Structure 1
């Protein structure tokens, strides 16, 4: 088979093959030398939105909506700039927050529920949890506080290919300049050893695996020796894919799938300090942070607004646009007790990929960490779109 490659224009900068593979996959077309008759292939269904009605939402008539409305109001700081949200946000601000029936009528009047379905026709997906962890640290490196939390490096580049390749809209590449070439940015192992971003240390903490989980969560708080708290938020990422260390431990035979909670992974690290770095390096993704204002009540999500504990969630934005109300039907962490709740899609995450895939924000503190660390449930989703909008799923970039 001959592969034909067509480029619309020359690129003046060489880009490593690390990135060109997904780009070329979109640009390559096969040119067979002769016609070959093949058996008909089974057409794979695409994930889709199915128009629904309010009666199909489990417990919709009984769920409390006060905190859901508060989360929507927080999101309206960003959403109200869009024409289709202006009236919705204006009316949301006038509602009597203590009148649950009025809040329910508001949602039913302004939105239409659309249920998500996978390509195979199923309606379930994975629901996990995240939270704001608390670490202990210092502004100075000491014998106790020796693991650095880095800010965004000066040599980290962000490359947007959408201007040349519209089909890659929303895709950003991260890298660095090496001579005349743009190459991938350093992975976790390199950042941790021979290529640390010197001078970008924000804080030093005393817990290596806790620092790893801070990066997985994307935000957190650090208590200083004097008792003060420094709040940290996501600044950027090194561009490498996220690999689950929990899944790796299962593959290694160290624990079962059902045992792979955040708490058990932490304990494995405590019990196996000599093997910890090798495990952490299995995930090449690395997150950089920035200090957040002390006045913030909660972590800030990808929408740029504070998250509402128990009512904000991270989603795959290729499926669910940020800001949308999402009715989640799942179960409480580690149980079969129903958990039906109207959430707001206000964040994203490196591991949150898929049609029916959500990450439930539990808030800050030890209890939130217990729920987040053990949440690995199946769930269904109905996304509320403003009336008149017919949703689609961006399958081109999948």
Structure 2
């Protein structure tokens, strides 16, 4: 963590009794998810806890014995949002219906500082002849939102699935289409959601196409079909993530693989032990998290409605937790 981030950040160790709803959670479900990625954590303290987790019979006792709840605050209010794995219809070959390509990352884009913009990629033919088409889908609007989510499944005509994951980007900053619609007076901020944006773009195809170009960022993919269809997509730890037990965090504050207790308020309060197994370009700050809702349209609707306050508390190995306190920071 940078010195500037440390200077602006406040750390507080809590008791497990301070975690609202802790005793009522399914700790075993959280432990199963923790086990799925903890072996990829590199430091000795995490490796030791991962080994200890493998034969635990009492999940709640394991977390209470080996961890301490660490509240990390950077002065910004907590914000929970949701994400999901989109499911698109497509084909490995281009047809009259399936004509919008999902691209792998070009070699030049891997070494460039900033590559071509979204408009240039889609209108100027810069991908022509590179043979980087992974497959083709039937809906350019869903493809746009696939890029925002960063991973998804494509249902092929024979009923099988092809899964794609984040393969890189053109390194242009993401610009919010929803915020731009509010700026233009099309909607008020409380009206905007992914479904609202999709419907408006489809009702206004010419204006909608131009609106999507407001976001210059473009995401490339890689095929990850080695992940079984019944498993979640790969997260930032290159392991499958789990519906309603995995979250995306800012790794500058929360170590990937760490258990995280969330207290989400709003219309549908949620108190649950999650595991930080993913990241996201919009997930910045100590009190910021994206909850993974699963795969498909229903998961997408639920994720799109989530924008709630609350609090998140990271479970840290005991010595690591106390090392964050001011008297122990050099």
Give the TM-score, by structure 2 length.
0.90
CA contact (8 A) 1:116 1:380 kept: no
State how 1:1-398 maps to structure 2 within 5 Å.
Answer: 46-79=8-41, 81-96=42-57, 102-119=58-75, 124-158=77-111, 175=112, 184-197=114-127, 198-296=130-228, 297-331=231-265, 335-390=266-321
CA contact (8 A) 1:311 1:342 kept: yes
CA contact (8 A) 1:232 1:289 kept: yes
Looking at CA atoms only, which structure, 1 or 2, has the larger radius of gyration? 1
Deviations 1:99-140 (A, max 9, x none): xxx211110111111112233xx6x31111111111011122
User: Quick one: structure 1 residues 342 and 243, their matched pair in 2 at CA, closer, same or farther if it must change by over 3 Å?
Assistant: same
The runs of at least 4 aligned residues of structure 1 exceeding 3 Å deviation read: 390-393
Segments of 5+ residues of structure 2 without an aligned counterpart are: 326-330
Give the number of the structure with larger relative contact order, counting CA–CA contacts within 8 Å between residues 6 or more apart. Answer: 2
User: Quick one: structure 1 residues 199 and 362, their matched pair in 2 at CA, closer, same or farther if it must change by over 3 Å?
Assistant: same
Name the one with the larger helix percent.
2
Segments of 5+ residues of structure 1 without an aligned counterpart are: 1-25, 27-44, 97-101, 159-174, 176-182, 394-398
State how far apart, in whole Å, the 1-side matches of 2:227 and 2:12 are. Answer: 41
CA contact (8 A) 2:176 2:215 kept: yes
| SS of the residue 2:248 aligns to | strand
CA shift, 1:257, in A, is: 1.6
CA-atom RMSD, angstroms?
1.9
CA shift, 1:294, in A, is: 4.2
CA shift, 1:288, in A, is: 0.8
Deviations 1:259-302 (A, max 9, x none): 21111111111111111122111111111111113443110011
Give the TM-score, by structure 1 length.
0.75
